[in-house]
Copies of this chain bind each other. A is one copy, B any other.
């Protein structure tokens, strides 16, 4: 019958130029209210919807950026995600979130995303990717920014996990603790919980330097989940040489420690000190001392970086490391 309307029809009906119609859609406030009304009416009358692909073509981009993220269960991811959102939104970008469960899914996205033309930029959070992937995206002019993951040819924002561990060690020793233990989550691919290992490494090394090396028995990795975290802590606390402080790979584990301690009638911080990592909201709620990294900030910065690369593709690759500091609360 009668075909689907375009801005030309809208322009004709509302007696303005297509430019004005277009402007009405993109910068409504730059169109006089009177004109706005006419266009609005014409659109309603014609039942007009802009063709998304035409828009994308003319704009030479979709004004959409994607984000690859392992899951939403970890509070730290969510907080970073929130930072990404606020920045990107204020710049007028849409965010497409891809939850990645398996290595296969990750590879699927990594190989389809650059070709599909659906996103202008990509943020990858805590998921590993290779040279080939980077090449692929680069070829299609889609900038990548890593959060909590690094690659030589891609801007990233990370923290110095080793230093984080050292910081924890210095702090705990400074507070008078002597027998430190470590609890962390043993991750599976594709999650680069590699970070946990680095934190431990720094922690361990620094303790040695300070003259209070860790007992091998005081290192404890457990699989994902609160149950595991608790039983792991219980085992740790019940050792012959009980540690007098526990440094956790993340705030999450710290909660496990609190629960285990309560069950065993061990007081925190009197009997045992407790230090988390991340300073997620929950650490604040529960008054857990922790190593703070600015999660929201990291998201914002990453978002800013993609935008910079989008604005000027010649922009240099930047590797930013966020500051870390100890937040003393009630568990140390």
Interface residues of A (CB under 8 A from B): 1-4, 25, 43, 47-59, 64, 71-73, 78-79, 81-82, 85-86, 89, 94-99, 115-118, 139-141, 226, 255, 259, 281-282, 284-287, 313-314
Per a CB cutoff under 8 Å, which of B73, B79, B115 touches A43? B115
Of chain B, the residue at the smallest CB distance from A51 is: B117
Cβ–Cβ contact B117 & A50, under 8 A: yes
Cβ–Cβ contact A56 & B54, under 8 A: no
A71 contact set on B, CB distance < 8 A: 82
Cβ–Cβ contact A89 & B99, under 8 A: yes
Q: Assembly of this chain: how many copies?
A: 2
Cβ–Cβ contact A314 & B72, under 8 A: no
Which among A1, A72, A314 has the greatest number of chain B C-beta atoms within 10 A?
A72
Given contacts A73-B281, A82-B72, A282-B282, are A55 and B117 in contact (CB under 8 A)?
yes
Cβ–Cβ contact B99 & A82, under 8 A: yes
Given contacts A82-B72, A97-B95, are A47 and B139 in contact (CB under 8 A)?
yes
Of chain B, the residue at the smallest CB distance from A59 is: B53
8 cross-chain pairs, A with B, having the tightest CB-CB distances, nearest first: A58-B116, A54-B117, A85-B99, A52-B117, A49-B117, A72-B82, A53-B55, A4-B141
Per a CB cutoff under 8 Å, which of B57, B141, B284 touches A3? B141
Given contacts A4-B140, A139-B47, are A96 and B99 in contact (CB under 8 A)?
no
Complex: A71 Cα to B2 Cα, angstroms: 34
Given contacts A72-B81, A94-B96, A97-B95, are A118 and B286 in contact (CB under 8 A)?
no
Given contacts A54-B116, A58-B116, are A259 and B287 in contact (CB under 8 A)?
yes
Closest-CB distance, A28 to chain B (whole angstroms): 9
16 contacts between A and B (CB under 8 A): A1-B313, A43-B115, A51-B57, A52-B53, A53-B56, A54-B116, A58-B117, A58-B118, A71-B82, A72-B82, A72-B85, A73-B82, A73-B281, A226-B285, A255-B286, A259-B287
Cβ–Cβ contact A85 & B97, under 8 A: yes
Closest-CB distance, A198 to chain B (whole angstroms): 25
Complex: A3 Cα to B141 Cα, angstroms: 6
Of chain B, the residue at the smallest CB distance from A58 is: B116
Cβ–Cβ contact B86 & A99, under 8 A: yes
Complex: A3 Cα to B71 Cα, angstroms: 33
Which among A71, A116, A139 has the greatest number of chain B C-beta atoms within 10 A?
A116
Closest-CB distance, A310 to chain B (whole angstroms): 13
Of chain B, the residue at the smallest CB distance from A50 is: B117
Per a CB cutoff under 8 Å, which of B3, B118, B285 touches A94? B118
Given contacts A1-B313, A85-B99, A94-B96, are A115 and B54 in contact (CB under 8 A)?
yes
A48 contact set on B, CB distance < 8 A: 115
Closest-CB distance, A284 to chain B (whole angstroms): 7
Which among A54, A71, A314 has the greatest number of chain B C-beta atoms within 10 A?
A54
A54 contact set on B, CB distance < 8 A: 115-117
Complex: A51 Cα to B59 Cα, angstroms: 12
